[in-house]
Amino acid sequence: MSSSVFLRRSWLAENGALAALVVLVVALSLLSSDFLSVTNLLNVGVQAAVTAILAFGSTFVIVTGGIDLSVGSVAALSAIVLAWTASVAGLPWPLATVVSLAVGVACGLVNAALIAYGKLPPFIATLAMLGIARGLALVISQGSPIAMPDAVSHLGDTIGTYLPVPVVVMVVMGGIAAVILNRTYAGRAMYAIGGNEEAARLSGIKVSRQKLITYALSGGFAAVAGIVLASRLASAQPQAAAGYELDAIAAVVIGGASLSGGKGRALGTFVGALILAVLRNGLNLLSVSAFWQQVVIGVVIALAVLVDTLRRRGM
């Protein structure tokens, strides 16, 4: 095998998701003349933003070998809390935002406490939180949408004529996730714990404490996603973001992370979220029915992981 072939293969292997995204974009721009317009692409960005922000948070958890099923519910709860504290309780919006973020983080901490100290499997602990957070959102809102404070709703606007704020928030959160994963103690500990929890513990990493940080980050990111989603709609809805946790997990996995832990990158997750959004947008432009879209997206998820698995086995 010549070295150039080897290099090309390993580049593809490392960036399989990115290659898939490029292929998808090229194919869609050939199939639909509307696809490659600035307006449409920014629209895709806005569509991707909420999923991507949730997925960045989920990346932390998945890198540690855990899973967080509660992020969609936590997003909805955080948004409801913001809207309620500002609009109903009359708190100033900056304070309401802080409270909202704190609620997201608190949900994550509860998850982590159940997992790290209660020894519940992450699937069960966060499944419980999925129900609890959604229920609390419904209780607080009494089942109806609450208007977001105007100042926060600007998050759904654009900067200048073009640049949507959700896209900016997505990129910033992605940058933060990348820095945390690559540069900080917390991030490096996540990889060690996901790679081999016992080896990490015997190397002096305080595993329980690091899990608290991990799930708290996931909760915090979910709160940001919830606020962005509510701003776009100008109101917080208790049923918002239902099922988004699965999209988030799909994005992380398409991006090359392994559910068994130890692997995953913020950039991969970003690409994974973009693939999902581009696919939905493209299928809409091609007038594929919403029912078929679900089938296509399911197939794409299976393919992405299948290719990854085959590649690993080949090595």
Partner 1 sequence: MELLRAEGLRKRFPGVLALDGVDLTVRSGEVHVLLGENGAGKSTLIKMLSGAYHPDEGRVLLDGHPVHIRTAGDAQRLGIATIYQEFNLVPELSVAENLSLGRPPRRFGFVDTKRMHERAVELLARVGVDVDPRTPVSRLGIARMQMVEIAKALGLQARVLIMDEPTAVLTTGEVEKLFSIVRRLREQGVAIIFITHHLEEIAAIGDRVTVLRDGRSVAEVPADTPQDELVRLMVGRPIDQQFPRERGQAGEPLLKVTGLGRKGVFEDVSFEVRAGEVVGVAGLVGAGRTEVARAIFGADRYDTGEVTVRGRRPTPGDVHAAMEAGLGLVPEDRKGQGLVLGADIAENLGLVTLREATRAGFVDRKGQHQAAAEVAEQLGIRMTGLGQEVRTLSGGNQQKVVIGKWLEADAGVLILDEPTRGIDVGAKVEIYQLINALTASGHAVLMISSDLPEVLGMSDRILVMARGRLVGELSAAEATQDGVMALAVTEVEGPRVQ
Cα distances (Å, whole numbers) of residue 33 to 25, 82, 163 = 12, 40, 22
CA-closest candidate to residue 64, choices 193, 218, 196: 193
The CA-atom distances, in angstroms, between 299 and each of 36, 106, 307, 313 are 24, 35, 12, 21
Residue 188 interacts with partner 1 (CB under 8 A)? Answer: yes
In sequence order, the 6+-apart residues with CB closer than 8 A to the CB of 126 are 67, 68, 69, 70, 111
Considering only residues 29, 40, 195, 242, which one is a binding residue for partner 1 as defined by CB under 8 A? 195
Nearer to partner 1, 53 or 192 (CB): 192
- Name which of 208 and 239 has its Cβ closer to partner 1: 208
Shortest spacing between CB 217 and partner 1, in angstroms: 12
Of residues 37 and 184, the one with the C-beta less far from partner 1: 184
Question: Does 186 engage in binding with partner 1 (CB under 8 A)?
Answer: yes
CA dihedral 176, 69, 93, 89 (to 10 degrees): -160
Whether the CB-CB separation of 314 and 297 falls below 8 Å is answered with no
Binding-site member from 11, 117, 162, 185 for partner 1 (CB under 8 A): 185
| Cross-strand pairs, 146 | 236
**8 lies in the site for partner 1, by CB under 8 A:** no
Instruction: Provide φ and ψ at 97, rounded to 5°.
Output: -65, -45
**Piece of 51-59, 200-208, 218-226, 293-301 that binds partner 1 (CB under 8 A):** 200-208
- Count other Cβ atoms within 10 Å, centred on residue 297: 17
Cα separations (Å) of 53 from 112, 139, 158, 185, 297? Answer: 20, 25, 18, 21, 19
191 binds partner 1 (CB under 8 A): yes
Residue 189 found at the interface with partner 1 (CB under 8 A)? yes
Work out which of 167, 200, 225, 278 binds partner 1, going by CB under 8 A: 200
In the complex with partner 1, which residue's Cβ is closer, 149 or 262? 262
Minimal distance in Å, beta carbon 186 to partner 1?
7
Identified binder of partner 1 from the candidate list 88, 123, 172, 184, rule CB under 8 A: 184
Give residue for tokens 């998945």. Answer: 62
Structure tokens at 51: 């999923």
Q: Which residue stretch of 99-107, 148-156, 204-212, 227-235 sits at the interface with partner 1 (rule: CB under 8 A)?
A: 204-212
State the residue for tokens 């996730």.
Answer: 177
| Residue 262 Cβ vs partner 1, minimum distance, rounded to whole Å | 5
Contact status: 206 vs partner 1 (CB under 8 A): yes
Cβ proximity to partner 1: between 161 and 198 the closer is 198
Site track for partner 1 across 249-268, x = CB under 8 A: -------------xx-----
Interface ranges with partner 1 (CB under 8 A): 1, 182-186, 188-189, 191-192, 195-196, 198-206, 262-263
